[in-house]
Structure 1
Amino acid sequence: MKQMIIHCEPSSTQMALMEAGRLVEFAVERTQAKGLVGSFFKGKVVNVIPGMQAAFVDIGQKKNAFLYIDDVLHPHLDKQPKVKPSIIDLLKVGQEIIVQVTKDAIGTKGARVTTHYSLPGRWIVYMPISAYVAVSKRVEREAERIRLRQIGEQLRNEQEGLILRTVAEDEPPEAIQDDFRMLRKQWTDIQILAKSEQAPAVLHRELSMVQRLFRDAYTAATAEIVMDDEEQAREAGIFLQDMLPVSTPRIHTYRGERPIFEVYGIQQQINKDFQRKIWLPGGGYLIWDSTEALTVIDVNTGKFTGSVNLEDTVVQTNVEAAFDIARLLRLRDTGGIVIIDFIDMELESNRIRVSEMLEVSMRPDRTQHHIMGWTKLGLLELTRKKMRESTAQSAEVCNVCQGTGWLTPVTKRN
């Protein structure tokens, strides 16, 4: 059973997604600092750097956006040249170009953009120039994969591409067709606006955090949607009515005196799950350390002593840790390289068991990820796509220790 709990304030909106009473996703969207991922801009190339095979594009933000050559070439590999050209053969300073943000500006880096355009809908992802049809890997029945692929091929023209999403499974062709037409019109509107606007200019903004949550995470298994602001609940209801006209879910408005996150036990879970030291239900614990591009997770037995032998105790702790790490990666929206230092195991079969638990537990994660496997040092390595600043990084850094947790000794004066 899923629950979507949304807390609204004048300066921000906070969203919590619960599964079986446990917090699995949490996000904050600032009113004055909304993310740009998915938004389209008409930009102007301001610098082309052959040595990096990249260009910087002015999209009207504080920092110029970064455009790599692979995001300029055709999105279909079969249509790319066998020998990669120089970026200076593709882009010129002063050239105006339509780009889409794939990664928000983080730290000292500007946003990353692409010309591999995609517009996500409820049932499909529309790609106007990709020239292929794909079906979500989570659709496992081969007959259904064939049916969805056939629907996609019938809808698109030669240059268009689309991905049939997991939620499209068993949906009637008419619903998928309506989604396709709506997204195709959005792309047409973007192109028309680009002809009249002067760069840099916004051409299309991605949905708000709450709307994305409804579009991407709502399923028939979602038992409850609760918001604590009547006006925003009304607007969200209109969006859901447009998205699901046949079976529009009801949004409950919370009017209690206690904060909504306290009533649903969310604040307590946030306080626990965003610590550096996170206790596991069985008594073990995790130590979680992150940098801008790397996260290291150390697994420890802690209070759990087991009852059979050392190997059994270690495996039980590691399996439990793998299950919770998958949830925490999604909850914290951790991106980049992740290294997990599980407790050493003697048997190869136990290492396989732990990695399989991690893989199965990460399947509900909608963010692209890849489990690389065990390194020679016995560490488990995985990558998770980093699109936005992680939830944990959105907190303010301590102005005394600068996030290290250590205070610099003060030199004593005579």
Structure 2
Amino acid sequence: MKQMIVHNEHNLMQMALLEEGKAVEFTAERTRERGLLGSFFKGRVVNVLPGMQAAFVDIGQKKNAFLYVDDVLHPHLEKQPKIKPSISELLRPGQEIIVQVLKEPVGSKGARVTTHYSLPGRWLVYMPVAGYVAVSKKIARESDRSRLKALGEQLCRDEEGLIIRTVSAEEQHEAIQTDLDTLRSQWLLIREKADSLPSPSLLHRDQSMIQRVIRDVYAPGSDEVITDSEAQAQVIRTLLEEICPGDEPRVRVHSGTESIFDAYGVQEQLNKDFARKVWLPGGGYIVIDHTEALTVIDVNTGKYTGSGGDSLEETVTETNMQAAVEIARLMRLRDIGGMIIVDFIDMEEAANRHEVAAALEQELRKDRTKAFVLGWTKLGLLELTRKKVREESTLPYVEACSSCHGTGKRYISPLH
């Protein structure tokens, strides 16, 4: 069972997703400062840089957006030219173009945008010009995959493409058809706005944070949403009635004097899980450090000495197994993206290293954001990547120290 705990305070909305009482996702959104991810813009090409095979597009934000050549070519690899053309053959300065935000602006970098458009719904993702149908790999039964693939191909028109989502495994034709019709209407409206509005202009913004999470995660019959706002509860009930017709919405309003995050133990969990050092159930701990290029995670035995008969190898492997499970959860909770290096405690046996990597991969399958375990380096470090689409969840709520500027060290002159 999953619980979505939604806390509203002034113009800030925070949401924690709990699985069996444990926080696995956290996100926050200022109601007046919605993110750009997934939004559509009518933009104007400012610069075309053949040397970088990229262009910069004015979408009306502080920084121009970055458009790479691969995001201009046809979305279907089979329909792309064998030899990649120069970006200058595809775009020219001053050209108006519809783009969708693929990655949020981060630091000094503007948003990354694409022309591989996609509109997510409850049961499927609609891609108006992709030209192919795909089925989620998380749908295990081949009979379901074959049925949904055939249904998707039957429903598509012209160059349309679809990705059938995991939650559609047992869904029927009518629900998927309704979802597709809604998304088609959204795309038509985007095209109509693009024809009438000047550039740069916002054409379509993705749903709010809570709407996206409910759309992607909520399972009728078992999951529930708990909020501290009656008005928001009514909005959520209406949304659930639309996406889960026939199911009684499981929505509750927290009315106690205690903060909703305190009442459900969320705040205590976040305080522990967003710390630099996070303790493991058996007494070991992990340390998470961020650099400009990557995130480094170090695993230590700490207080864990194993049970009486355990060898050193068994003790180390058990600590690493606990760490693998916790690292996958923390990556998801803290929305850590980019390159990640994990320094597990050294294991002598290759079978144990394989077991630890397999455990991490298994836990990462629960993550809605794509992550890949690349393997062990010659130095015994485990390499992995996780798609980075926005700044890490901690960044809006932490501030660099004015003395050390976030390094943890302060220069002291030998002259004093």
TM-score tier, shorter chain, comes to over 0.9
Per the normalisation by structure 1, the TM-score is 0.98
Task: Give the Cα–Cα distance (whole angstroms) in 2 for the partners of residues 191 and 114 of structure 1.
Answer: 16
Deviates more, 1:232-241 or 1:315-324: 232-241
Structure 2 counterparts to residues 138-149 of structure 1, below 5 A: 138-149=138-149
**Does the CA-based 8 Å contact 1:293-1:335 persist in structure 2?**
no
Q: What residue number does 1:350 align with?
A: 352
1:264 aligns with 2:285: no
User: Kindly tell me: are residues 170 and 359 of structure 1, through their superposed partners in 2, closer, same or farther at Cα, counting changes over 3 Å?
Assistant: same
Per-residue deviation, 1:97: 0.1
1:43 aligns with 2:46: no
The alignment of Structure 1 onto Structure 2 pairs a total of residues equal to 413
Q: What residue number does 2:115 align with?
A: 115
1:394 aligns with 2:385: no
Structure 2 counterparts to residues 372-387 of structure 1, below 5 A: 372-387=374-389
Q: What residue number does 1:178 align with?
A: 178
Listed one character per residue, the Cα deviations across residues 79-138 of structure 1 (whole Å, up to 9, x for unaligned) are: 111111111111010000000001000001000000000000000000011111000010
Task: Give the Cα–Cα distance (whole angstroms) in 1 for the partners of residues 242 and 221 of structure 2.
Answer: 20
Listed one character per residue, the Cα deviations across residues 24-71 of structure 1 (whole Å, up to 9, x for unaligned) are: 001111123211111100000011111110000000111100000000
Per-residue deviation, 1:178: 0.6
1:312 aligns with 2:310: no
**Does the CA-based 8 Å contact 1:2-1:221 persist in structure 2?**
no
**Does the CA-based 8 Å contact 2:286-2:299 persist in structure 1?**
yes
SS in structure 1 opposite 2:51? Answer: helix
* Partner AA of 1:258 in structure 2: E
**Percent same amino acid at aligned positions?**
59
Task: Give the Cα–Cα distance (whole angstroms) in 2 for the partners of residues 53 and 92 of structure 1.
Answer: 13
Task: Give the Cα–Cα distance (whole angstroms) in 2 for the partners of residues 153 and 80 of structure 1.
Answer: 21
SS in structure 2 opposite 1:67? Answer: strand
Task: Give the Cα–Cα distance (whole angstroms) in 1 for the partners of residues 82 and 14 of structure 2.
Answer: 47
Task: Give the Cα–Cα distance (whole angstroms) in 1 for the partners of residues 393 and 161 of structure 2.
Answer: 32
**Does the CA-based 8 Å contact 2:220-2:244 persist in structure 1?**
no
Per-residue deviation, 1:411: 6.8
1:65 aligns with 2:68: no
Task: Give the Cα–Cα distance (whole angstroms) in 1 for the partners of residues 258 and 10 of structure 2.
Answer: 18
Q: What residue number does 2:334 align with?
A: 332
**Does the CA-based 8 Å contact 1:3-1:222 persist in structure 2?**
no
Task: Give the Cα–Cα distance (whole angstroms) in 1 for the partners of residues 46 and 266 of structure 2.
Answer: 46
SS in structure 2 opposite 1:370? Answer: strand
1:403 aligns with 2:406: yes
Return 5+ residue gaps in structure 2 as ranges: none
Deviates more, 1:90-99 or 1:375-384: 375-384
User: Kindly tell me: are residues 233 and 411 of structure 1, through their superposed partners in 2, closer, same or farther at Cα, counting changes over 3 Å?
Assistant: farther
SS in structure 2 opposite 1:344? Answer: coil
Per-residue deviation, 1:222: 4.0
Per-residue deviation, 1:231: 1.4
Q: What residue number does 1:16 align with?
A: 16
Task: Give the Cα–Cα distance (whole angstroms) in 2 for the partners of residues 329 and 232 of structure 1.
Answer: 29
Task: Give the Cα–Cα distance (whole angstroms) in 1 for the partners of residues 335 and 157 of structure 2.
Answer: 36
**Does the CA-based 8 Å contact 2:223-2:250 persist in structure 1?**
no
Per-residue deviation, 1:243: 1.8
Task: Give the Cα–Cα distance (whole angstroms) in 2 for the partners of residues 225 and 24 of structure 1.
Answer: 15
Q: Name segments (4+ residues, structure 1) moved above 4 Å.
A: 410-413
Listed one character per residue, the Cα deviations across residues 192-241 of structure 1 (whole Å, up to 9, x for unaligned) are: 11000000001000000000010011113643210001112222222222
SS in structure 2 opposite 1:38? Answer: coil
SS in structure 2 opposite 1:42? Answer: strand
Task: Give the Cα–Cα distance (whole angstroms) in 1 for the partners of residues 40 and 75 of structure 2.
Answer: 17
Return 5+ residue gaps in structure 1 as ranges: none
Per-residue deviation, 1:327: 0.4
* Partner AA of 1:404 in structure 2: T
SS in structure 1 opposite 2:57? Answer: strand
Per-residue deviation, 1:291: 2.5
